[in-house]
Amino acid sequence: MSESTTFYAQAPASPEISERFPDLHPAFTATAAVTEANRCLYCFDAPCTGACPTHIDVPRFIKKIASGNLEGSAKTILDANILGASCARVCPVDVLCEGACVMHRYNEQPIAIARLQRFAMDALYESGGRLPFSPGADTGKSVALIGGGPASLACAAELRRRGIRAVIFDARPLPGGLNTYGVAEYKLPLAESLREIDLLAQLGVEFHFGAAVDGERLAELESRHDAVFLGVGLGAIPRLGIAGEQLAGVTNALDYIAGYKSGRITSAPERVAVIGAGNTAIDAANASLRLGARAVHVIYRRGPEQMSAFAFEYDHAKQEGVEFLWHVMAERVVGAERVEALELVRLEAASDGSLVLKEGENFRLPVDLVVLAIGQSTHADFFRGGRVKLERGRVVIDRETGQTSDPRYFAGGDCVNGGREVVDAVADGKRAGIGIAVWLEGHDANA
């Protein structure tokens, strides 16, 4: 990062994308925010706070909106969750804070916590965007953080607030990981993710971009730092292993989403098939429609009850016009030079629950683009030979401190939990940041 420019200023500007991906949940006006804030009952030991993985003191920040103390409101949010601005936009609040709101049992709408949180954070930006915290007094300690996504960012913030140097290494040209490159633009625009990281950079977090870390580099970093935080996320979306997959017109959801978010992809062909039915698949399907596709199908081997996407994401996709093909599997990508169709086969559940082919039920779906969204692989290779213990490809940690089986290594986020939400990564990173600080202090005390 150069001294003079911000990450925000480096966001690729694409008016076309902004126009096609307007805010799904528009910002509150000040009047609406105060009215909504006044509805909050101010629960004791509030269930919304308990449901939030970062335990934001929700009633407190809401009452500060009601009282007109917007500065204090933003500070309350950031104190618990340094990525409070993006969490306000990307969190699946239906199953988190808003899902836990007592108003559900009061025969009323839950408090619009996410929109209030965004209101408080927007107010902070509008008032000059100064982070209400300063770095702690320098301890002389230093931590390398691998990956620049939410887990590392949250960990880095905790470290800096405790006077520990935090150096982030990220393979991409801009920070934020999936928060910057992987969230549907109508929830969190790429530029907003960067604006938030600018805030965090005020704590003196150091960034190295285009800095892919391999085993050798890791060993070097280990020798130069007092601890290492692993926030590497998950790996690539695997291929299906079927014929025709190498054809032009076959991509994966992460590349596709990152492509349109950074302005490299500005349109979609007429017919798109998305394979997989998780939240990322939904994001890719909705994006295709917004980018101009006429027919978008989500193809999934099982039924809607088994899909990993949240119910509200499924509902949203249906509203956008996405069609779902259940109990269907892709057997072959058909085409001469480019994708022309998908050869599909119907499946049914056998008595033991396994899926079996329905003979003679093959059919072709003409498509111009195939987007794979069948989950991400793990980074098992990256950790091979190291002392960091894995389980099913995931890094094993002590949940409270983030410490791995190798005491100098801490970890959090998708590489630990197998792929959850931004707020889960932030919570992991926060616990690890505090865990590292405590461990470094204990280390000193014992030395």
Point out which residues bind another protein (CB under 8 A). 34-35, 38, 41-45, 47, 49-53, 55, 66, 91-92, 95-96, 99-106, 306-311, 399-400, 417, 420-421, 423-424, 427, 431
Shortest Å distance, C-beta 110 to another protein = 9
> Which phi and psi (to 5°) does residue 227 adopt?
-155, 165
Closest CB to another protein among 209 and 326?
326
Q: Are 232 and 415 in contact (CB under 8 A)?
A: yes
Closest CB to another protein among 95 and 247?
95
Q: Are 171 and 246 in contact (CB under 8 A)?
A: no
The Cα 409–Cα 36 span in angstroms is: 44
Cα-Cα-Cα-Cα torsion 162, 166, 170, 172, nearest 10 degrees, comes to 80
Shortest Å distance, C-beta 65 to another protein = 11
CA 305 vs CA 47, 285, 349: distances in Å = 27, 19, 13
What letter would DSSP give residue 248? B
The Cα 415–Cα 422 span in angstroms is: 13
Shortest Å distance, C-beta 314 to another protein = 9
Shortest Å distance, C-beta 246 to another protein = 31
Shortest Å distance, C-beta 80 to another protein = 9
Q: Please choose, from the candidates 116, 125, 118, 117, the residue with its C-alpha nearest in 3D space to the C-alpha of residue 33.
A: 116
Closest CB to another protein among 332 and 420?
420
Q: Are 228 and 146 in contact (CB under 8 A)?
A: yes
Shortest Å distance, C-beta 116 to another protein = 14
Shortest Å distance, C-beta 174 to another protein = 25
Closest CB to another protein among 259 and 418?
418
Closest CB to another protein among 148 and 412?
412
Closest CB to another protein among 47 and 321?
47
**DSSP letters spanning 91-147:** S-GGGSHHHH-GGGGGTSPPP-HHHHHHHHHHHHHHTT---S--PPPP-S-EEEEES
Q: Please choose, from the candidates 398, 427, 420, the residue with its C-alpha nearest in 3D space to the C-alpha of residue 410.
A: 398
Per-residue tokens: 388: 């960091």
Closest CB to another protein among 167 and 425?
425
Cα-Cα-Cα-Cα torsion 280, 285, 290, 293, nearest 10 degrees, comes to 150
Shortest Å distance, C-beta 419 to another protein = 9
Q: Are 266 and 260 in contact (CB under 8 A)?
A: yes
Q: Please choose, from the candidates 201, 198, 145, the residue with its C-alpha nearest in 3D space to the C-alpha of residue 168.
A: 145
Q: Please choose, from the candidates 264, 273, 281, the residue with its C-alpha nearest in 3D space to the C-alpha of residue 16.
A: 264
**Residues in the chain, total:** 447
Closest CB to another protein among 63 and 261?
63
Shortest Å distance, C-beta 229 to another protein = 18
Closest CB to another protein among 78 and 144?
78
